[in-house]
Amino acid sequence: MAALYCVTIKNSADRYQKIAQDQHRMDECTIDGFRIKPSAKMYEIDPANHGGYKRMRMWEVDWIVLAGTRSSESNLGYHGLESGSWDQFAAINWPGMMEDLVKKIGGYKQTKAVDVDLATPLIQNAFLSNSRDPAKDLPKLDEMDKSYREGKQILMMIDMDMLLDTPGYKLGDIAQSHWIVYEGGMVKDSTNQRVKFKVFSWAYDPSTGIRYSINKNFPDSNASNPIKTSAGILFSSFTSSHYGHIEAHN
């Protein structure tokens, strides 16, 4: 959900402010006719004293917005915390849902899902791993970069191994699926089979690699940045963990 609200704020910070204030004051929000109504169980949680919330390392206002939105859209009993494997599965932001929310919450007039498919990485890596050339999948990154330079917002669906520069795919990685925002700066190194580019994820500034803060304060602000894409990752780390992307513009 952080990627969704990142592009929402780029389009209109007022939309984020309204959702945060209305959910805090009234337990729900309606924006452009779209209703966000979290599970009632979310309001039984005191995030300041809950270990599951603390592990998320985010501000309470962001938790209200992000977890509240995901809870509102969940048919699998997601209540705002990720304390086990089922919670992680219930928290998955499925591609069709995400594209819809980019319009309804983000306020974008035009969206397009490009090659968003959870089955493709499994098939490619489980059955074709010995015959595939990772470099052949890199045109997908070229397409994203071209759209980004045209002024479109790019939300990439990946599994988190990409950010950690860990190639390979296994079925359990579906629970680690994750949305990030592409922020340009792509440079390919064909000799060493590596590529670098900037992304927004986990509240780290894509330009500086430093975690965003308020008055130089942030939950777990001393944590080192685990995102390796800015320094460069293997071609295979990209291709084995990339599920497609969504483009958005007005």
For residue 204, give the nearest of 176, 228, 239 by alpha carbon: 228
User: How many CB atoms are located within 10 Å of the residue 89 CB?
Assistant: 14
Q: What share of the chain is helix, strand, coil (3-state, %, to 5)?
A: 40, 20, 40
Question: What are the extents of the domains in the chain?
Answer: 2-104, 110-249
Kindly state the DSSP code that residue 137 receives in the 8-state scheme.
G
pLDDT digits (tens, 9 = 90+) for 122-171: 565 555 554 455 566 788 899 999 999 999 999 998 888 899 999 877 66
Q: In angstroms, rounded to a whole number, what is the distance separating the alpha carbons of residues 62 and 43?
A: 15
In tens, the pLDDT along 79-133 reads 555 554 434 444 466 778 889 999 999 999 999 998 876 565 556 555 555 445 5
- H or E, element range at 68: helix 60-73
- 161 and 104 Cβ atoms separated by less than 8 Å: no
Q: Give the pLDDT score at 44.
A: 76
The pTM of the full predicted model, rounded to 2 decimals, is: 0.85
Q: Percentage of the chain surpassing pLDDT 70?
A: 74
* Contact of 154 with 181, CB cutoff 8 Å: yes
Confirm if 144 and 182 have CB atoms less than 8 A apart.
Answer: yes
